[in-house]
C-alpha cells in the first residue's frame, strides 16, 4: 500500500509533466519566428515575396515541442527571356523549440506551380482529347459499356489551368458519352464526365502533346444527364466503343493486306483443291488475306465478320507458319487419303481440309447453298528426324503429272451423271462381286477403268460396277 504522502507527490509530478508543455508553448509563442526569418531559413535565393497561409501550430513529439507554419512564396521563374513567368511554391517550415529559442529544422515542400504562361488554344486541347478518347474513357470495363463515340468535348467553365513546369500543364476538360448499364431494364445513360487533361512539350517552342488523364477529386464530376430504355433487339445491336474500335482496326488491317481474288466455290472439293494450291503458292500475307475471307462464322467473334476470336487467331498464325514448309513436304498433285485429306510426300502425315456450304439462298424456287467456307484446316508438318528421313529418299516421291491425253480421258458414270477421270477416288465391285471396295482410277482405256484398290489389288473393270 502506497503511503498518503507518496501519493501526493506522485500526483503533483504528473500534473507538472502535463502542464509543462502548456507553459512552454505560451512562452514560446511569444517569440515565434517572423516571416523574414522563415524566408531566410528556407534557403531560396530567388524569392520575390512570401506570406504565411496559416497560423502557427505547436505539437509535442517524444517529449519535444515542434512549431510548424504553412507558407507560400512567389519566386522568379528561371526561364531565360521570360521575366513574367513566376513560380508559386508552398509548404511549411518546421522549428524545434528549446526554451525560448526556435531552432530551424526543415522546410517541407508541397507544390510548385508556374504562373504567367500563355495557355494553349482551346481547340488544340479539344483535338488532343478527342484523339485520345479511349484513354479518356478509362479502363477496359468502361470501354465495354460505352456506346457510340465521345462527343461534346470542351474545356470546363472552371478550367483551373495549372503548370507544374513550363512544359507541363493540366486543365479540366469535360466530355459526354452513352453508357450501357447492363441491367435487366436495358437502360442507357447519357453521362458528362470531367477529368484533368495533362499536356506536355519538349521545349517552350515545341508543340503541345498529350500526356495522360487523371481523375478530379470531386465525385460530382461524373453527372448523369438522362436515362433511356430500349427494346432487347435495339439494346443488343448497340456496339460499344471498344467493339467499334476493334472493327475499324480489323478493317484497316484487311485493307493493308494484298488483294486476293477468290472464286465462288460451288462444291466442297473445289474449295479443298483451291486451298491446297494457296498453301503451296501464296505468300504469308496473301494466305492471311485468303483465310480471313474464307473462314466460316465459327472463327469470328460474336456479331463480327472481321474480328477473329483468340483461338482462331492462334490457329491462323500456326497455319501461316506451317505453310512456309508446305511446298517442300506436299506434292502439287497429292495422293488423297480420304475425301477431305491428302498425304504428304512419304505418306507419314497428312493435311485435312473441311469445307461447308455457306448461307442458303432461294433461286427460282430452289434453295441454293452459298459459296463454301473453310470449317477446319489441320496441317501435318514433319520436323527433326522425320523430316530428315523424308529428305533421304533418292527417288522422286511425287507422282508424275498426267499428260494432256490422260487429263482428257473420261468414262461416263453409271446413270450418265458425270464422268470418271484418272486420279479419282472410286468404289467398285471387285471381280464383279456384290461387295464394293475403295480404290483409285489409275488409267482409262475406252470405256474401261483400271482400278488400284486400297489393299493393293488391281483390275480392269467398267463403270457399271463402280460408284
pLDDT tens for each residue of the chain, 467 residues long: 445 444 444 444 444 444 444 444 444 455 789 999 999 999 999 999 999 999 989 999 888 999 999 999 999 988 888 889 999 999 999 999 998 899 999 999 999 999 999 999 999 999 999 999 888 888 766 778 888 888 999 999 999 999 999 999 999 999 999 998 876 778 899 999 999 999 999 998 899 999 999 988 776 788 899 999 988 888 888 888 888 888 888 889 999 999 998 988 888 888 998 999 999 999 999 999 999 999 998 998 877 888 898 999 999 999 999 999 999 999 888 888 888 899 999 889 999 999 998 888 888 888 877 889 999 999 999 999 999 999 999 888 887 777 777 778 888 888 767 888 888 889 999 988 889 999 989 888 888 899 998 888 999 999 889 88
Cα 11 to the center of its chain, rounded Å: 71
Distance CA 421, CA 269 (A): 15
Q: Assess contact for 264 and 274: CB atoms under 8 A.
A: no
Instruction: Identify the domain containing residue 336 by its residue range.
Output: 260-391
Of 61, 81, 115, the one marking the end of a domain is: 115
Of 187, 213, 248, the one marking the end of a domain is: 248
Nearest to 288 by CA among 303, 308, 268, 305: 308
Judge if 51 and 168 occupy the same domain: no
DSSP 3: -
Judge if 46 and 141 occupy the same domain: no
> What integer pLDDT is reported at residue 241 of this predicted model?
84
Judge if 111 and 128 occupy the same domain: no
Nearest to 396 by CA among 319, 315, 331, 308: 331
Answer yes or no: is 399 within a domain.
Answer: no
> What integer pLDDT is reported at residue 370 of this predicted model?
82
**Tens-digit pLDDT profile for residues 350-383:** 999 999 988 888 888 888 778 899 999 999 999 9
Nearest to 41 by CA among 96, 105, 86, 137: 105
> What integer pLDDT is reported at residue 2 of this predicted model?
47
Which burial class, exposed, middle or buried, applies to 323 when counting CB atoms under 10 A from its CB (0-12, 13-18, 19+)? Answer: buried
430 sits in which H/E element: none
> What integer pLDDT is reported at residue 30 of this predicted model?
53
Structural domains of the chain, count: 4
> What integer pLDDT is reported at residue 411 of this predicted model?
86
Distance CA 451, CA 129 (A): 73
Judge if 216 and 146 occupy the same domain: yes
Distance CA 430, CA 408 (A): 26
Q: Provide the grid cell at 457.
A: 489389288
C-alpha torsion angle, residues 305, 306, 310, 313 (rounded to 10): 110
Answer yes or no: is 109 within a domain.
Answer: yes
Answer yes or no: is 254 within a domain.
Answer: no
Q: How far is CA 440 from CA 237, 415, 425, in A?
A: 52, 20, 5
- According to DSSP, the residues that pair with 106 across neighbouring strands are 94
Rg (CA), the chain: 42
**Residue where the block lists cell 431494364:** 185
> What integer pLDDT is reported at residue 177 of this predicted model?
92
Judge if 110 and 131 occupy the same domain: no
Distance CA 44, CA 150 (A): 46
Q: Residue 423 belongs to a domain with what CATH number? A: 2.30.30
Cα 176 to the center of its chain, rounded Å: 23
Q: How far is CA 23 from CA 14, 45, 298, in A?
A: 15, 37, 84
> What integer pLDDT is reported at residue 219 of this predicted model?
67
Q: Assess contact for 165 and 114: CB atoms under 8 A.
A: yes
pTM: 0.60
Q: Assess contact for 25 and 58: CB atoms under 8 A.
A: yes
Judge if 171 and 97 occupy the same domain: no
Answer yes or no: is 5 within a domain.
Answer: no
**Tens-digit pLDDT profile for residues 151-173:** 999 999 999 999 999 999 999 99
Judge if 172 and 213 occupy the same domain: yes
93 sits in which H/E element: strand 86-98
Of 115, 140, 170, the one marking the end of a domain is: 115
- According to DSSP, the residues that pair with 363 across neighbouring strands are 366
**Residue where the block lists cell 482410277:** 441
Judge if 223 and 324 occupy the same domain: no
Amino acid at each position: 500500500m502506497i503511503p498518503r504522502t507518496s501519493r501526493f507527490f506522485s500526483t503533483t509530478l504528473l500534473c507538472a509533466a502535463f502542464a509543462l508543455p502548456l507553459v512552454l508553448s505560451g512562452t514560446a509563442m511569444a517569440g515565434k519566428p517572423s516571416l523574414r526569418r522563415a524566408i531566410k531559413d528556407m534557403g531560396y535565393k530567388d524569392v520575390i515575396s512570401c506570406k504565411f497561409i496559416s497560423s502557427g501550430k505547436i505539437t509535442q513529439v517524444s517529449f519535444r515541442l515542434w512549431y510548424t507554419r504553412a507558407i507560400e512564396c512567389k519566386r522568379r521563374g528561371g526561364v531565360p527571356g521570360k521575366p513574367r513567368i513566376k513560380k508559386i511554391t508552398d509548404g511549411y517550415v518546421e522549428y524545434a523549440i528549446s526554451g525560448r529559442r526556435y531552432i530551424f529544422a526543415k522546410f517541407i515542400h508541397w507544390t510548385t506551380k508556374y504562373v504567367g504562361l500563355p495557355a494553349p488554344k482551346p481547340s488544340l486541347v479539344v483535338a488532343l482529347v478527342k484523339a485520345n478518347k479511349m484513354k479518356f474513357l478509362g479502363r477496359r470495363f468502361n470501354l465495354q459499356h460505352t456506346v457510340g463515340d465521345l462527343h461534346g468535348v470542351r474545356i470546363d467553365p472552371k478550367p483551373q489551368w495549372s503548370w507544374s513546369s513550363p512544359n507541363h500543364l493540366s486543365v479540366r476538360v469535360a466530355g459526354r458519352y452513352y453508357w450501357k448499364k447492363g441491367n435487366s431494364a436495358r437502360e442507357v445513360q447519357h453521362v458528362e464526365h470531367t477529368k484533368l487533361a495533362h499536356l506536355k512539350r519538349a521545349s517552350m517552342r515545341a508543340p503541345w502533346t498529350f500526356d495522360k488523364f487523371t481523375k478530379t477529386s470531386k465525385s460530382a464530376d461524373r453527372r448523369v444527364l438522362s436515362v433511356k430504355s430500349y427494346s432487347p433487339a435495339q439494346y443488343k445491336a448497340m456496339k460499344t466503343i471498344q467493339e467499334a474500335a476493334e472493327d475499324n482496326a480489323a478493317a484497316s488491317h484487311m485493307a493493308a493486306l494484298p488483294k486476293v481474288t477468290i472464286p465462288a466455290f460451288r462444291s466442297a472439293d473445289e474449295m479443298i483443291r483451291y486451298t491446297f494450291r494457296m498453301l503451296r503458292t501464296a505468300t504469308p500475307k496473301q494466305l492471311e488475306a485468303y483465310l480471313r475471307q474464307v473462314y466460316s462464322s465459327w472463327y469470328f467473334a460474336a456479331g463480327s465478320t472481321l474480328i477473329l476470336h483468340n483461338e482462331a487467331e492462334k490457329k491462323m498464325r500456326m497455319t501461316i507458319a506451317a505453310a512456309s514448309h508446305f511446298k517442300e513436304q506436299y506434292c502439287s498433285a497429292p495422293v488423297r487419303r480420304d475425301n477431305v485429306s491428302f498425304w504428304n510426300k512419304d505418306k507419314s502425315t497428312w493435311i485435312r481440309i473441311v469445307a461447308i456450304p455457306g448461307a442458303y439462298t432461294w433461286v427460282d424456287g430452289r434453295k441454293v447453298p452459298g459459296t463454301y467456307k473453310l470449317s477446319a484446316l489441320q496441317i501435318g508438318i514433319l520436323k527433326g528426324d522425320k523430316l530428315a528421313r523424308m529428305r533421304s529418299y533418292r527417288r522422286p516421291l511425287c507422282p508424275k503429272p498426267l499428260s494432256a491425253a490422260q487429263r482428257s480421258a473420261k468414262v461416263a458414270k453409271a446413270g450418265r451423271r458425270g464422268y470418271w477421270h484418272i486420279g479419282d477416288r472410286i468404289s467398285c465391285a471387285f471381280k464383279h462381286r456384290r461387295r464394293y471396295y475403295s480404290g483409285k482410277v489409275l488409267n482409262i482405256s475406252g470405256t474401261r477403268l483400271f482400278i488400284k484398290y486400297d489393299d493393293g489389288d488391281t483390275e480392269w473393270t467398267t463403270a457399271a460396277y463402280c460408284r
